[in-house]
Chains A and B, each alone.
Chain A
């Protein structure tokens, strides 16, 4: 803990130097970040951003616990979102909401399963199969909202809005979808720590050869973990489009970098369920605080990104050092 705090301080000092070098007042800039992240308005932005980031972080942490990396989160997220729109615009009422969420999760799960089977049956490494399958999924969704599903009344590549009865009830800046994400984190934490299946995933993460020797079958585990991972990513996509503005806008799930910030959080936390949650919320706060700083001060957009990068690298180094100290080679 002390190492982490010292590192944070180090990153802040280096950031202050950078800020001062561009003529900005570091204290003012940092103040803007904190108000932007946790102030009365900021907290709403942070929460709205944190829901998908935490969801994606948890989704990617599931296979990472067993040492498997799902790089196809974006594709699974987008497929989940578009499937939820398709189902949600055809099934009315509460049933429609449920069906849309289930469809989102199922689409993500199925698509991630394809990537898993590519590894277990065809020998394509998971890193490659998940990442490469992500692109056609994003392109497919982009095609759908440009042509067959395009909102005729708009010039943007976006779907029509969902009917008012197929929308998740809002709670401030977020929707009740936040409970789904929290529940996912809780289920992950319990399965991870308290079930044979979670134990087997962890054993695989400790040592793949040890796991194989102990009779834990990697192919089956890969498929199951990827299905859960993709399913959760798809659910996150569904939750996002069932909230404001209640439609699929091309790029809206990609540009905010939910997937990659989530992956970063999961990696930093070594896929520990609660650690992943904390890291994801932290990064969400940092990002929304960064946007606020951009608005409130003269600090250019690029410098916000640099500041975030400095913080992340320092934190990564700190956790890396801690891990090494705990497990001397």
Chain B
């Protein structure tokens, strides 16, 4: 270590313009070999643009990219991969019908006499899985894996290609605390081997826990660049948002009343399954469901909402049996739902904001059988105003909104039903920290207005902030129940790993 090695990655003075936007404005970013460097910023701050320049997906308008001291100009991702850069994108690029092994080796298949050597492939992938302590079986079909495990397949692809510089774009968005810890162990191990990690995230505690250095972008400019040890949550949040942000507020328990939602013995056979789950949610109460993704939370909410049939069990709402009722009648009986999958389930990205907000209200907005565009727009504008949704207008397509604004809009639409029961799944996944506090406040004030809220979240901090009671799901069962005061990270973490029997 006497002689200073050249930086593994050096981006200098990067400028990238898009029509109407300066996505990167003279951005500098240098990362040493063996360093874990966090790149932070809210949606639209320019993180993805910067990474796509490094990864060869777009060219900078000005500035240079150096790899191990040598200037490079990748014309394509293939060239970047050749040079030892690997990137895990936010969306998955996997073949659902193929096995883990096939996905990992795709594009770099081991050969024997010119033919695909399946045995060598399985062995190589199996060894990687073993070595990095992943919970995958090389023969599993990717389509059968829960989202959390698919992410691991993506990371496995980079490891298999022996990438020297690893870019991970929000890799923990779909992971649970235990999986995140395991991923961090893997990343630390890789860094110790001398590999360079660029970790794109907006989760403060993860950045603080994992990275050596951190760079924060806001509006395309670097607003903070320092050793992680020299900063803290408040400073990072302020650098990201440009203002002081209320962090991790833990709300006091509410004043629960009568039981409104009751589920008894809910069972869905299959994998992942739901196994004899019973729970009650009272008016004026938030019940949080914690658990590693893929342990039945999604199925539980889908079953209550009427989107998945039950093999056994009953759901009652305000004393009324919902058994066999279709979604429409459940909603009419008093159910609103903020779903996990914002783009596919919670909205129609190609349709306008106004139309998205009117969906579910189309019968109520009609007058004498006619649904006037003016009524649809007025309804949308009211929600946009009330919830501070930032959009080019209610006629803008939903997909043009940022994740946080989409979520605020969808939450606003569902709260507007004023239903006695609200089902909430992952309310702040992929949402800017500025919007997180707002969404949390909305959920709590909905609770305080006397509504029952069932909250599913993979974020322990979110569960602890909002839930009056916490139930932990593991392998389709509820394995533990905690009051607000008992729900510490340690207790929840242990139960989530199945250790609370």
Contact = CB atoms under 8 A, between A and B. Distances in A.
Interface of A: 193-196, 198-200, 202-203, 206-207, 209-217, 327
Contact of A213 (B339, B350, B363, B366): B339
A213 B398 CA distance: 17
A195 to B, nearest CB: 6
Interface in B323-369: 326-332, 337, 339, 341, 344-351, 355, 358-360, 362-363, 365-366, 369
Given A207-B344, A327-B397, A215 B372 contact: no
B189 interface: no
Given A215-B328, A217-B328, A210 B359 contact: yes
26 contacts: A194-B370, A194-B371, A194-B372, A195-B366, A196-B362, A196-B365, A196-B371, A202-B355, A203-B355, A203-B359, A203-B362, A206-B350, A206-B355, A210-B344, A212-B327, A213-B327, A213-B346, A214-B359, A215-B328, A215-B329, A216-B328, A217-B326, A217-B327, A327-B350, A327-B397, A327-B399
Contacts of A327: 349-350, 397, 399
B348 A195 contact: no
Contacts of A207: 344, 347-349
Contacts of A199: 355, 358-359, 362, 371
B346 A210 contact: yes
A324 to B, nearest CB: 11
B449 interface: no
Contacts of B348: 203, 206-207, 210
B491 interface: no
A209 B345 contact: yes
B29 to A, nearest CB: 27
B345 A215 contact: no
A202 B371 CA distance: 13
B382 interface: no
Given A196-B363, A207-B348, A210-B348, A215 B399 contact: no
A47 to B, nearest CB: 32
Interface in B101-151: none
B252 interface: no
Nearest to B326: A217
A193 B373 contact: yes
B307 interface: yes
Given A216-B328, A217-B327, A327-B397, A206 B307 contact: no
A307 to B, nearest CB: 34
A227 to B, nearest CB: 19
A135 B352 CA distance: 41
